[in-house]
Structure 1
Amino acid sequence: MAELVGLRLYSCSNCRNYVCLHDDIISKAFQGRNGRAFLFSHAMNIVVGPKEDRQLMTGLHTVADIYCGDCGEVLGWKYEKAYEEMQKYKEGKFILEKLKINKENW
């Protein structure tokens, strides 16, 4: 964790476990289950749940819910597969809901 000192981070709003870096934000223009969400290229200290197909606003995707690695809070989901060509850029990326994360070191 020493390498994270001084970096702008986001943490789980429930337990303050670090889950992603501000520098890994791809877009802030996403919608989660509970409002605004951010698309991240990477996430850390999380658990990835089972894959399932979901019809989202942008079409059918295979996704897996992501949970805080410490407290188990659902934070968002990981895009495993996009079925539409224009959505392929999301594969392997993470949605974290704004209500589920807090800013750290700002």
Structure 2
Amino acid sequence: MAEMVGPRLYSCCNCRNHVALHDDVISKAFQMNVSIGPKENRHLMTGLHVVADAYCSDCREVLGWKYLRAYDRTQKYKEGKFVLEKSRIVKENW
């Protein structure tokens, strides 16, 4: 009989703190186990945005960022969304 495996999730690469469930990534009710830093203007590949770094709530490793404001109206869909850097997270139970 196949071994039972828990839900697929993403964890901090540094301390393995569970950050987010894979099934919730595109959910409107998506919540992450991260802390948000101060907002700042940052020039990204798609232009100037107001963002805040997203930190692991356990070890404070920077995992990515949250878009708070897009100055270009074609980028407004990003507001309120998170980016997790692949090099900063690990997949578990995949």
Written as runs of structure 1 = structure 2, the 5 A alignment for 1:15-54 is 15-25=15-25, 42-54=30-42
Q: Paired residue for 1:13?
A: 13
Alignment check: 8 A CA contact 1:43 1:94 kept: no
1:1-106 matched pairs, under 5 angstroms: 6-25=6-25, 42-106=30-94
- Name the % identity: 70
State how far apart, in whole Å, the 2-side matches of 1:48 and 1:92 are.
Answer: 12
Gaps of 5+ in 1: 27-39
Greater share of strand residues, 1 or 2? 1
Separation in structure 2 between the aligned mates of residue 49 and residue 76 of structure 1, nearest angstrom: 11
Larger Rg: 2
Q: Matched residues in 2 for 1:60 and 1:24: separation?
A: 28
AA of the residue aligned to 2:20:
C
Q: Which amino acid aligns with 2:9?
A: L
Unaligned runs of 5+ in 2: none
Question: Does the aligned pair in 2 maintain the 1:51–1:63 contact within 8 Å?
Answer: yes
Could you give the per-residue CA deviations for residues 76-98 of structure 1, whole angstroms, max 9, x where no partner exists? 10000011111111100001110
Superposed CA RMSD: 1.9
Change (3 A) 1:90 1:24: farther
TM-score (norm 1): 0.76
State the number of aligned residues. Answer: 89
Task: Give 1:22 shift.
Answer: 1.6
